[in-house]
Structure 1
Amino acid sequence: MPNTLIHTIEIYKLYIPLKEPFVISLGPINEVQNVVVVIRTSDGFTGWGECSPYMTINGESIDTCFIVGQYLAKALKGRNALDLEHCSSVMDGIIYANTSIKSAFDIALHDIAAQHAGLPLYRFLGGEKKKVIQTDMTVSIGTPEKMRADAIRFTTKGFPAIKVKLGESKEKDVARIKAIREGIGNEIPLRIDANQGWATADEAIEVLKALAPYDIEHCEEPIPRWRFMELGKVSAASPIPIMADESCGDDHDAERLIQLNACKMLNIKLGKSSGFLKAKKIVQLASNAGMHLQIGGFMESRLGMTAAAHFALLHDSIEHYDLDTPLMFAEDPVEGGIVYGEKGVVEVPEVVGSGARVKEEYLRGAERVMV
């Protein structure tokens, strides 16, 4: 195996304001709080990674990622950056879970490996540019009037699908979808995401049946993820196809859901899977099972979303793209990387590696540590 040794690792806290609060059933997000990992090798390669920890989903915060990242950095320093499986095993051997911060390291290591191979990241991963990536745009929870106005605005901009955050009572959620459909008509696909908001399988089934007349493409994570044994019941009774999100973190979760015949689709996020290595295993498992996939994220900047977009080109089974969060930022801290075109088109850079990095002015004043 080729060899390029990890020389230094830098970890930064990145705070970015949003244009407006982003609200889901698990609570509001008022500011982006991400962690950037920069890995430098002894022979001059630099890899960039980012994670967006989500306390109520992956149990991590910007502070825990900053601390745990130092444990990971000390363990990885001096190791071969190109031995991706070994580096992943080292991180798993240091600490259980903590998938968000592990993903930032994994993304940075893959960036280095792709650069070393002289390939764009998507090609290094095994993907091809044979499809157009178009992201949906998300409407967060609010009044029916506000959600309708947001949906109309996104539809006017040509996004191919509107994703709607739900997860409260049947009455409130039906009123929201009714208002949105009245505003945008019936031509644009609607996707809904309850973020575990409906407390039981029976409640979820009741709400999903009430929403069926509004032509919903699919529903993400209708019930609490710890009720995964009941997700199959929801899927069997729901007129709307079910996509697992919070209940599908890594490849072990995916294998369990597939064995349970729990859902028709899976939502892959690098911050849940610990990065590319385990996400690729999810794709293989889902492909073998004939399942459809979505690639999404948390609140990553264009750095993290560039990594996700490269991954989206990996396989034909990845059909849905939820890569919209950088469009919610009040500032763009990234240079290079993906470009958002008209109608939600996401252009993946044809450069060696991922092609994205954080602008120096955002790193200069950030809290950081170097190992």
Structure 2
Amino acid sequence: MPGTTIQAISIYKLLVPLREPFVISLGPLLAVENIVVVLRTADGHIGYGECSPFLTINGESVDTCFVVGQYFAPALRGRDALDLAGNLAEMDRIIYGNCSIKSAFDIALHDIAAQHAGLPLYAFLGGSNNKILTTDMTVSLGPAAKMRADAEQFQREGFPAIKVKLGGTLEEDVARIRAIRAGIGPTHPLRVDANQGWRTAANAIAVLQALGEFNIEHCEEPILRQHFMELSQVRAASPIPIMADESCGDEHDAARLIQLQACQMLNIKLGKSSGFHRAQKIAQLGQAAGLTLQVGGFLESRLGMTAAAHLALSNPAIHHCDFDTPLMFTADPVVGGFRYCPGGVIEMPTGPGLGASIDEAWLRRAEQVHF
């Protein structure tokens, strides 16, 4: 369609300080360093996408994304924005991997496609706004006393579940969880995420068995992602259900994990899957296998997290949402998007498309390039 031809592409660096360092077993994060992609079509539609590259997970940085995005822009300019699969295939033809920057383009393309269809993005994806989305809130890795204080604060603020970053020694992590449980009580929903920090299957099993008494809902990525063949051993020996995260990037990873019976749960992120096209394939595989699914993210603003929330409404097997990182920002550059409500409830935009954009004042002062 001539009207939906991609006419102009802009790429921006979005830099926002965090309120305090966000620490996981892979290292500390001090600031938001994201990419925003803006696509414009001949008929006036504007699509927004965002990615939050993560050096230690998807091997990308804000600088690599800014450069690789400039490989994509001239190739996509002049193509039909509605050819979603074809546009992703073109990006795959240009360069292998680089799933984070691909996701920013894919989100912007889906924004345009949903606007063109006159549908909220979740409806365009085949879903409906028929369930209440709630986000957990994450306790950063640190001393047990500080982690307990943070968990108590999040409980007071009404978050329905608390996620705790772990990945230290058995003694350290048990002390952390014991302190948190002493602060929030034995029944408040609690989840843990080792971010591969326990490394080996034997070590992970020992820690998980030691944590079994603390009423933990699930554990994300207990061992090194390269050791995914051993994840089924961890699942079999763990009293806590296992959720694959870093080891599940695309639908091929999901299929392998399902075949191995490696986990009971999958964590889907647009920045790992190159965007909606592959994320939905992961969700469909997980649903067919009877797995429970979560949608999460990296350090996206409410724009990228709104995209994730649309994905969460697209499949009934998606039960958990991890959409808390925008609450850690010192400023909010997003216009529209989902809204945080009491009790961790997410209120979605219902107009056509993604329903979120970036404040023009932020874009004007950002490092940028245009095609």
Q: Normalized against structure 2, the TM-score is what?
A: 0.99
What is the CA RMSD across the aligned residues, in angstroms? 0.8
1:87 aligns with 2:77: no
1:126 aligns with 2:118: no
Aligned length: 371
1:29 aligns with 2:61: no
| Structure 1 residue 97 displacement after superposition | 0.5
Structure 1 stretches of 4+ with a deviation exceeding 3 A read none
Q: Which amino acid aligns with 2:119?
A: L
C-alpha separation in 1, matches of 2:260 and 2:228: 9
| Structure 1 residue 39 displacement after superposition | 0.4
Q: Which structure 2 residues correspond to residues 101-180 of structure 1 after superposition, within 5 A? A: 101-180=101-180
C-alpha separation in 1, matches of 2:199 and 2:191: 20
Please state whether the residue corresponding to 1:353 is helix, strand or coil.
Answer: coil
Identity of aligned residues (%): 67
Q: Which amino acid aligns with 2:288?
A: N
Q: Is the 8 A contact 1:2 1:82 kept in 2?
A: no
| Structure 1 residue 187 displacement after superposition | 2.0
Aligned to 1:99: 99
Q: Is the 8 A contact 2:3 2:41 kept in 1?
A: no
C-alpha separation in 2, matches of 1:294 and 1:171: 28
Q: Which structure 2 residues correspond to residues 174-189 of structure 1 after superposition, within 5 A? A: 174-189=174-189
| Structure 1 residue 3 displacement after superposition | 5.7
| Structure 1 residue 43 displacement after superposition | 1.0
Q: Is the 8 A contact 2:187 2:215 kept in 1?
A: no
C-alpha separation in 2, matches of 1:248 and 1:315: 18
Q: Which structure 2 residues correspond to residues 258-297 of structure 1 after superposition, within 5 A? A: 258-297=258-297
The one-character-per-residue Cα deviations of 1:185-211 (angstroms, maximum 9, x if unpaired) are 012111000000012100000000000
Q: Which structure 2 residues correspond to residues 195-210 of structure 1 after superposition, within 5 A? A: 195-210=195-210
C-alpha separation in 1, matches of 2:325 and 2:233: 32
C-alpha separation in 2, matches of 1:179 and 1:361: 44
Q: Is the 8 A contact 1:101 1:274 kept in 2?
A: yes
Aligned to 1:193: 193
Aligned to 2:314: 314
Aligned to 1:78: 78
Aligned to 1:7: 7
The one-character-per-residue Cα deviations of 1:233-275 (angstroms, maximum 9, x if unpaired) are 0001100000000000010100111111110100000000000
Q: Normalized against structure 1, the TM-score is what?
A: 0.99
Aligned to 1:224: 224
Q: Which amino acid aligns with 1:308?
A: A
Alignment gaps of 5+ in structure 2: none
Please state whether the residue corresponding to 1:145 is helix, strand or coil.
Answer: helix
| Structure 1 residue 337 displacement after superposition | 0.5
Aligned to 1:368: 368
C-alpha separation in 2, matches of 1:51 and 1:283: 20
Alignment gaps of 5+ in structure 1: none
C-alpha separation in 2, matches of 1:28 and 1:37: 26
The one-character-per-residue Cα deviations of 1:53-82 (angstroms, maximum 9, x if unpaired) are 000000000000000000011110100000
Closer, same or farther in 2 for the Cα pair 1:204/1:2, shift >3 Å? Answer: farther
